[in-house]
Amino acid sequence: MTAVPQISLNNGQSIPQLGFGVFQIEKADTVTAVTTALQTGYRHIDTAQGYGNEEEVGEAVAKSGLDRADVFVTSKLDNSAHLPDDARLAFDASLAAMGFDYLDLFLIHWPLPDRYDGDFVSTWKVLEELYREGRARSIGVSNFQPHHLRRLHEESEITPAVNQIEVHPYLTQDEVRAFCSEHGIAIEAWSPIGQGLELEDPVIGSIAQRAGKTPAQVILRWHIQRGDIIFPKSVTTARIKENFDIFGFELSDSDVAEISALNKNQRTGPDPDTFTGGV
């Protein structure tokens, strides 16, 4: 079976560079999709309280016959639970739903500058406690801009292990990636294939043809060679396998540069500086 590279985090833990994301996978489809992913060889699952499928992720891991220690599981704090007491209760509820006694990684999902008086620092301090208690083996953030990270740096003790942000060829996020690299924060790239946006791009198409790979594989490989952590989502068995099969070829430096040059700062999701987390 293909060996997925491990990325070392700033606290000494390691994380498989390729995982499986379950955003927008219906509850009823989650056990089957995660089971297929685990059978394919994925050992890293990315979920969130807001995805409504944590229980099914836990069920699939339990049924897989794999040791809990062999699967890296991430979840994220719901946008409605930033107040410290709520955050702690929400974390406990995640563990209970999944049937776990720890999470490998727990993230603040969005900074929410216009809610809770913009006080994500108090929320972060709860994650620091969960980390010290050993119930979250690593802690991090998602959708944080450099100015949010700078504030955490100044007002709290633990540097986030990761920042999970939207990254794909049309949104290369050079500024946030450079800031995180300088501060030892690993980048997790969400919507790695832009939810399908770039699959028809002619530059991607011609590189794929030359490499004898699919456009999705070329884009995923581009992320791997840039050093980011990814977890593409699919419920289709053939695509789950296709997305895992990205370690038997390499893009040249000029292919990587050509794909990076497609950047047009085009988001598929909300802007973290204005997103209020919905209702």
Among 93, 199, 203, 211, binds ligand NAD (CB under 6 A): 199
Task: Spell 64-82 as b/e; 16+ CB within 10 A means b.
Answer: beeebeebbbbbbbbbebb
Whichever of 138 and 191 has its CB closer to ligand NAD, that residue is 191
Q: Is there a catalytic annotation at residue 102?
A: no
Name beta bridge partners: 164.
142, 188
Name beta bridge partners: 21.
46
Whichever of 154 and 223 has its CB closer to ligand NAD, that residue is 223
Binding mask 16-45 for ligand NAD (x = CB under 6 A): -----xxx----------------------
Q: Could you tell me which stretch among 15-23, 32-40, 60-68, 147-155 binds ligand NAD (CB under 6 A)?
A: 15-23
Rounded Cα distance between 115 and 198, Å, is 33
Question: Residue with the closest Cβ to ligand NAD?
Answer: 21
Q: Is residue 239 involved in binding ligand NAD (CB under 6 A)?
A: yes
Whichever of 132 and 147 has its CB closer to ligand NAD, that residue is 147
Helix orientation angle between 54-63 and 27-40, rounded to the nearest 10 degrees:
40
Count CB-CB contacts under 10 A for residue 6.
14
Minimum CB–partner distance for residue 156 and ligand NAD (Å) = 20
Rounded Cα distance between 279 and 35, Å, is 32
Minimum CB–partner distance for residue 37 and ligand NAD (Å) = 11
Among 49, 164, 172, 173, binds ligand NAD (CB under 6 A): 164
Specify whether the CB–CB gap between 222 and 232 falls below 8 A.
Answer: no
Active centre residues (catalytic)? 51
